[in-house]
C-alpha cells in the first residue's frame, strides 16, 4: 500500500510517499494513523493526536473510520487552502 | 460542464466565449476570477510581504473533487454551462489562480451557483498554498471564514 503526504506533512514526515505493509489488524484509516506514528519522530509529529489533518483512500476523502482493506493508496494532508 | 487543473494561465475572454458559444438558453453568465494578492503578514515584530506562492495539489483527487462539486451545483440549480479552471505551481502577486463561470437561463441561479462553487472548492478540493516571504516559505493555514462560507450551503 502506498502512503502519501502533502504540504507541510510531507516535510514533517520527511518523505512524499512510502510503501508500507501494515499488519492485518490495521483495518481503518485511524488504525493506519496509529500504526504509522511509530515509524519515526516525524510521523509521530505529523500524525499526532489532535493535529488537524485529513485523509483520502484511493483519492477520495475518507474519515478515520473508513476501512482500508484493498486500498492501493492512502493520503494524509492538512486542511485545503485553494481557490 | 468542464473542470481543468493546469499550470498554464488562462484567457478569460476565450474561455467564456467557448463556454457559451452555441448555447442560446443561457440568459446570465456569472464569473469569478481568483487572483494572487500581495499580502502583508505579521510575524512577531516583522511584517512580511508575500511576493509569490506555490499551489500544490493532489493530481487525480483534485479533478474528481472538482467534478463532484460541479455535479452538486448542477443538482441544486438549473445550469446550462459550468467551468472551473484551477491553476497549480508557482504564481506571483497579480497572477490569476482560478476561474469559475456559471451560465443559467436566469441570473439568480448563475450568481448563487458561482458563489457556491467558489466556497466549496476552497474547502473541498485538495490544494495547498505555500507562500514565499522575504523571511522564508510558509504554508497557509485553513481560514475559518472559508469553512463558515462553505457551511452555509449545507442547510439548503
DSSP-derived secondary structure for A13-59: HS-SEEE----TT--BHHHHHHHHTTS-HHHHHHT-TT---EEEETT
- B98-151, pLDDT tens digit by residue? 999 999 999 999 999 999 999 999 999 999 999 888 878 888 887 777 888 888
Q: Across the 83 residues of chain A, what is the mean pLDDT of every consecutive 10-residue run? A: 96 96 96 97 95 95 95 96 84
pTM more than 0.95: no
- B13-58, pLDDT tens digit by residue? 999 999 999 999 999 999 999 999 877 766 666 677 788 999 999 9
Residues A73, A17: Cα–Cα separation, whole Å: 10
Please give, rounded to a whole number of angstroms, the shortest distance from the CA of B104 to a CA of chain A. 22
- The answer to whether the CB atoms of A80 and B126 lie below 8 A apart is yes
- Please tell me if residue B66 touches chain A, with a CB cutoff of 8 Å: no
- Residue A67: phi, psi to the nearest 5? -80, 135
Q: Is 0.95 exceeded by the ipTM?
A: no
- The answer to whether the CB atoms of A83 and B127 lie below 8 A apart is yes
Residues A17, B59: Cα–Cα separation, whole Å: 14
Least Cα distance to B20 among B110, B120, B116 occurs for: B110
Amino acid at each position: 500500500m502506498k502512503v502519501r503526504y502533502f504540504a507541510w506533512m510531507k516535510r514533517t514526515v520527511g518523505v512524499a510517499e512510502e510503501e508500507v505493509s501494515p499488519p492485518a489488524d490495521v483495518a481503518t484509516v485511524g488504525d493506519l494513523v496509529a500504526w504509522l506514528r511509530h515509524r519515526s519522530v516525524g510521523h509521530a509529529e505529523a500524525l499526532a493526536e489532535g493535529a488537524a489533518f485529513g485523509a483520502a483512500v484511493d483519492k477520495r476523502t475518507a474519515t478515520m473510520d473508513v476501512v482500508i482493506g484493498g486500498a492501493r493508496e492512502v493520503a494524509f494532508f492538512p486542511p485545503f487552502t485553494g481557490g | 460542464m468542464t473542470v481543468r487543473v493546469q499550470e498554464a494561465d488562462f484567457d478569460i475572454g476565450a474561455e467564456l466565449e467557448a463556454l457559451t458559444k452555441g448555447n442560446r438558453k443561457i440568459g446570465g453568465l456569472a464569473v469569478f476570477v481568483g487572483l494572487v494578492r500581495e499580502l502583508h503578514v505579521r510575524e512577531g515584530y516583522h511584517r512580511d510581504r508575500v511576493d509569490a506562492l506555490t499551489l500544490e495539489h493532489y493530481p487525480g483527487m483534485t479533478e474528481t473533487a472538482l467534478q463532484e462539486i460541479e455535479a452538486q451545483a448542477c443538482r441544486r440549480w438549473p445550469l446550462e454551462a459550468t467551468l472551473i479552471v484551477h491553476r497549480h505551481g508557482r504564481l506571483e502577486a497579480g497572477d490569476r489562480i482560478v476561474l469559475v463561470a456559471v451560465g443559467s437561463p436566469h441570473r439568480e441561479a448563475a450568481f448563487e451557483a458561482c458563489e457556491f462553487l467558489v466556497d466549496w472548492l476552497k474547502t473541498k478540493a485538495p490544494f495547498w498554498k505555500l507562500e514565499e516571504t522575504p523571511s522564508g516559505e510558509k504554508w497557509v493555514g485553513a481560514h475559518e471564514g472559508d469553512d463558515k462560507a462553505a457551511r452555509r450551503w449545507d442547510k439548503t
